[in-house]
Amino acid sequence: MKTIFKNRKISSIVTVVPKEEFRFDDEYPAFKLTEGKAKRFKKMMSLDRHRIAPPDVCSSDLCLFGLQQLLDEGVLKKEEIGALVFVSQTPDYFMPPTSNVIHGRLGLGQDVICFDINQGCTGFLLGLVQSFLLLEISALPKVVLLCGDTCSKQMDRCNRVSYPLTGDAGSATVVERCEIENPIYAAMKNDGSRHKAIYVPAGAYRTPATPETLEVREAEEGVPQSLQHIHMDGPAIFNFTMEDVPPQVEEILSFSGDTRDSIDCFLFHQPNPFILTQMAGKMRIPQAKLPNNIVSIFGNCSCATIPLNIAFNFAEQLQQGSRRVCFSGFGVGLTWITMVLDLGPLAVCSVVDY
Amino acid sequence: MDKVEFCQKLAEILDIEEVKLEDVLNEFEQWDSLAVLSALAMADAKYGVTIRADEIRSVVTAGDLANLVEEKQKQLALKP
């Protein structure tokens, strides 16, 4: 479906990354890669380093740290928050919702609505949709969107296919009502028939956790995995990003009356630089307008990649003024969402270490 | 389709000197998930065709892959 949101804006974004940084050059011996293969892999995926949270740090800790930063800086007051939306695939507990946990830790009032959304790659955009809708009913003027994941906990650290590309991060975004119309164009699609293209097979209630589901096996050398780890069908995902996402970008540009030239930057989810380069080529978008550096520096941090992309690459520009941007998120579900909007000026736009 | 050029591109992906049409892809130590992804990307970017996950898994030799790409190009050309 397509829609236009009006009188809504993003006013601040803080992205939080764990301070622990790991380098591919130090890690690759654990992946059972020969030096030659490691070099090839590093070059193809532009691998360099990534940020990984310690075992006792959850997605909610990273998000809450970002939210606290916004409160400390004075751009947000607790009394202004009408709703908390927490997007993640790595919650604190199966129950209660992590948004409630954060609500309690922050000491928010009882009139604040709490929402958890289970999403990954499109999480920031689905969270924006939910936040825009909540502003419709909220008596208070602001919604806080928290997007964070610690996917490093959903894989074996010796898995050379997934681990080197993964990073942990959290983010806190303020979404609020505004006087000006500020139209935000959104296109959203889902294909649940492909839900097993990226999934964690066991550990919930379809296939409950047992000692067997925790057992790590090596289907391919260097790819150790248990049934409670993320499983991904690489070629199917590649087909998806090449076939389904570009038409949606075309669709949104014609819907908003934009062209490749009128968009200042294409802020896409960051699965890896290889796929992003292929996508940019296919869509004839100049590489300079479509940043793909996040995975090389931080790793793919699921629903936090778009806020990290914004805060890492455009903090200064967006604090000074506004940019016409195109967001695109695509992945788990399968779900793909694209938006065109004027972003900025943002009161706060930063990346902080936890 | 220039099959010599296609083999050169496959050789680049596998980071080896030469690939012949009769070579069995699975016999190359380098034909791993990364190489498969690179081959899909090459088919898309250089030849404008989409090869599906199950199709590439059923391919045996380099020549089979070249034929698959060529066949897809023909199908595309026939589309109105």
Q: What residues of A are in contact with residue B40 (Cβ under 8 Å)?
A: 235, 238-239
Helices (H), ranges, chain A: 24-27, 35-45, 59-73, 98-106, 123-137, 211-214, 234-243, 245-256, 273-283, 294-297, 305-320
pLDDT at B52: 87
CA of A163, closest CA in chain B: separation in Å? Answer: 14
Domain that holds residue B60: 3-78
User: Average pLDDT for residues A162-185, to the nearest whole number?
Assistant: 96
pLDDT at A330: 97
pLDDT at A171: 98
Of A119, A17, A20, the residue nearest A61 (C-alpha): A17
Global ipTM: 0.81
Does B33 sit within 8 Å of A220, measured CB to CB?
yes
User: Average pLDDT for residues A235-239, to the nearest whole number?
Assistant: 90
User: Average pLDDT for residues A262-273, to the nearest whole number?
Assistant: 96
Which residues of B touch chain A, with CB atoms under 8 Å apart?
15, 30, 32-34, 36-38, 40-41, 44-45, 50, 52-53, 56-57
Say which of A41, A236, A281 has its CB closest to residue B34: A41
Residue of A nearest to B30 (CA): A37
Q: Is 90 exceeded by the pLDDT of residue A150?
A: yes
Number of domains in chain A: 1
CA of A61, closest CA in chain B: separation in Å? Answer: 34
User: Average pLDDT for residues A286-313, to the nearest whole number?
Assistant: 96
Residue A313 phi/psi, 5-degree rounding, is -95, -25
Say which of A223, A274, A278 has its CB closest to residue B44: A278
DSSP letter for B50, please: P
Does A281 sit within 8 Å of B53, measured CB to CB?
no
Calculate ∠ Cα A30-A238-A226, nearest 5°.
Answer: 40
User: Average pLDDT for residues A25-37, to the nearest whole number?
Assistant: 85
Number of domains in chain B: 1
**B46 against A64, higher pLDDT:** A64
What is the average pLDDT score of chain B?
88
What is the average pLDDT score of chain A?
95
The model's pTM: 0.93
Q: Is 80 exceeded by the pLDDT of residue A6?
A: yes
Q: Is 90 exceeded by the pLDDT of residue A15?
A: yes
Cβ proximity of A346 and A318 under 8 Å: yes
CA of B76, closest CA in chain A: separation in Å? Answer: 15
DSSP A244-287: THHHHHHHHHHHHT--TTT-SEEEE--S-HHHHHHHHHHHT--G
CA of A98, closest CA in chain B: separation in Å? Answer: 36
Phi-psi region for residue A151, left (φ > 0), alpha (ψ -120 to 50) or beta? alpha
Domain CATH for A67: 3.40.47.10
Q: Is 70 exceeded by the pLDDT of residue B80?
A: no
**pLDDT one-digit tens code per residue, A151-173:** 999 999 999 889 999 999 999 99
Q: Which of A37, A220, A239, A243 to mutate to test the interface with B (most CBs of B within 10 A)?
A: A239
Q: Which of B34, B49, B76 to mutate to test the interface with A (most CBs of A within 10 A)?
A: B34
User: Average pLDDT for residues A34-48, to the nearest whole number?
Assistant: 86
Say which of B33, B38, B40 has its CB closest to residue A161: B33
Q: Is 80 exceeded by the pLDDT of residue B37?
A: yes
Confidence of residue B35 (pLDDT cuts 50, 70, 90): confident
pLDDT at A248: 97
Domain CATH for B58: 1.10.1200.10
pLDDT at A40: 83
Burial (0-12, 13-18, 19+ Cβ within 10 Å), A340: buried
Domain that holds residue A314: 1-354
**Helix (H) or strand (E) segment spanning residue B44:** helix B33-47
